Amino acid sequence: MGAGKKAKNVAKTTKGKMKETTGKAVGNESLEAKGRGEQAMGDAKQAAQKAKDALKH
């Protein structure tokens, strides 16, 4: 996996976790849901990159 793409995916997952935690702390369900969504997107993209890398080898 390209280092740049991996970093972006990890950053998206981390950003989502921060939003979810903040949403829980302040009682904002919308922010919490957005955070979970971002985490899922980051995880999915990371899994797709790993699959691509596995097919290359």
* pLDDT one-digit tens code per residue, 6-38: 888 899 999 999 999 999 999 999 999 999 999
pLDDT surpasses 90 at 54: no
- Burial status of residue 36 (CB atoms within 10 A of its CB: 0-12, 13-18, 19 or more): middle
Residue 3: predicted pLDDT = 77
Instruction: Count the neighbouring beta carbons within 10 Å of the beta carbon of residue 39.
Output: 19
The CA distance from 41 to 6, in Å, is: 13
Specify the pTM.
0.79
